[in-house]
Structure 1
């Protein structure tokens, strides 16, 4: 009886060892080919479910998940770099080409009126270049976490009014009328003044490029936040893809080419608002475009 039991135990141990070794060989093969299968999900599994082996596989799967997440972040970062280089090259080429063309015209132009006009165009192109480089600089500092926000209580509606008023002549030239609604009292929010100014400037530039006619500006107050709401009619022929407007280098398609748009304005603005602990969203209904900027209330 004892010999029979001993034989049975030995057979069971032998089977256990064989199954364990087979499973270890399978795991070794799977781990060896892990890099080839990562794009399709590289988690490990067991056919022979032994407790200690399960614990090892679970620990390996946690490590694999972390590696795959880091790999995904790296791939996205690599794509962003390629996109940034392509977008930067495209956006800088237009004003540089403009400057080059009119600089070549200046020496052969004797008409003082035309020369003054060419110089004005060159100055405007240089201003666009400086604005673009500032945006790229801000974007780089934000995405590499080098930019720290100095959040202080700021009068929201006062800041918005001052920035939009600085664009008064440009709005007037394009037939855009800004109307402030429900603005009897000012609202204080926590924000970085320089970055908030940049956000509102980008909003104004967006209005100049794509808005038509009447624009309404409203401040919506909640218990813990204040939301700036800007509503405008979009120009005829403008195709707005609402799901893409906050993507880097996205510009709306219009019936005429827009040489001033860098495609960074709303993307950068959203990053800046989020850096100040706020939220920036947009809505589109028929030909009405609504931009919402929500910031925390100041003390």
Structure 2
């Protein structure tokens, strides 16, 4: 009787080893094919139920999940860079063409007044080129997670006032009136001051390009955030698509021939605000374009 039991156990063990070896071969083959099909939600499965083998497959599937996520992020980053290069190349062409044309005119004229006028246009075009390349550089660093962030506590209202008033002459030239709140909100926020300065400068540039005659700055407390709002009136024939203003390379001019805007300013600003644990949104109300930035308050100074 014991002999039969021994034979039965031996046969069972052989069958177990056979199916285990067969499953391992299938698993080995599936792992080899992963690089060619892992981007399609590939998973490893087994037919033979062994606790040790099932644990191994679970671990491998977790590795596959991480690999696919990294692969997806890499492809998205590659696509973002491709779109950025395509858009930037298109936008660089306008100021470069302008510079080239006016340089040729400078070589042909002797009128000093016209020469100074052309030099002013060239200077503005060069400034625009520098702004575009700065935007692209910041955008590339953000989307490759290379832009470092340094959070500190400071007064948002003081920074806003300082930046807006530094553009006083441009607002005067454009005949845009600024309206600050009668009572300043001096509460401290937590943010990266250099990043936030860049965001506010982008908002100012947007107002200078598209505002009709007035911009209103306001603040309000909301939960644990300080909300900074900028409203500017827009022209009646404006074609702002508010649902697209934070899209890469969006401009009000759908032909994308606007020499003053690359369409990166608000897109980049939103990215920077989100990196500082805040949020940024925009809406239209009657003939007013409204941008809101939510930034965390420093509770120690509240």
Q: Give the TM-score normalised by the residue count of structure 1.
A: 0.85
Aligned to 2:202: 202
Aligned to 1:82: 82
The structural deviation recorded for 1:150 is 4.3
Alignment of 1:129-208 (within 5 A): 129-143=129-143, 147-181=147-181, 183-208=183-208
* Aligned residues: CA RMSD: 2.8
Alignment of 1:140-289 (within 5 A): 140-143=140-143, 147-181=147-181, 183-222=183-222, 224-235=224-235, 236-242=237-243, 244-254=244-254, 257-284=257-284, 288-289=288-289
Q: Deviations over 1:235-289 (max 9, x none)?
A: 42424252x4334333334588311112221222223333444332333456543
Are 2:293 and 1:296 equivalent residues in the alignment? no
Aligned to 1:107: 107
Q: Distance in 2 between matches of 1:176 and 1:278?
A: 28
Q: Distance in 2 between matches of 1:254 and 1:183?
A: 40
- Can you give the 5+ residue segments of structure 1 that lack an aligned partner in the other structure? none
Q: Distance in 2 between matches of 1:39 and 1:286?
A: 46
- Stretch of structure 1 that moved more, 182-191 or 256-265: 182-191
Q: 1:148 to 1:6 in 2, by over 3 A?
A: closer
Q: Distance in 2 between matches of 1:255 and 1:19?
A: 65
Aligned to 1:96: 96
Q: 1:241 to 1:45 in 2, by over 3 A?
A: farther
Q: Contact 2:242 / 2:282 at 8 angstroms: preserved in 1? A: no
- Can you give the 5+ residue segments of structure 2 that lack an aligned partner in the other structure? none
Q: Distance in 2 between matches of 1:295 and 1:106?
A: 49
Q: Distance in 2 between matches of 1:55 and 1:192?
A: 45
Are 2:9 and 1:5 equivalent residues in the alignment? no
Q: Distance in 2 between matches of 1:146 and 1:66?
A: 21
Aligned to 2:52: 52
Q: 1:42 to 1:234 in 2, by over 3 A?
A: farther
Q: Contact 1:27 / 1:44 at 8 angstroms: preserved in 2? A: yes
Aligned to 1:124: 124
- Stretch of structure 1 that moved more, 117-126 or 88-97: 88-97
- Stretch of structure 1 that moved more, 4-13 or 40-49: 4-13
Q: Distance in 2 between matches of 1:133 and 1:254?
A: 21
Aligned to 2:28: 28
For these two proteins, the number of residue pairs brought into alignment is 298
Q: Distance in 2 between matches of 1:80 and 1:34?
A: 26
Q: Contact 1:183 / 1:219 at 8 angstroms: preserved in 2? A: no
The structural deviation recorded for 1:117 is 1.6
Are 2:13 and 1:16 equivalent residues in the alignment? no
Q: 1:111 to 1:57 in 2, by over 3 A?
A: same
Q: 1:254 to 1:5 in 2, by over 3 A?
A: same
Secondary structure at the counterpart of residue 107 of structure 2: helix
The structural deviation recorded for 1:136 is 3.1
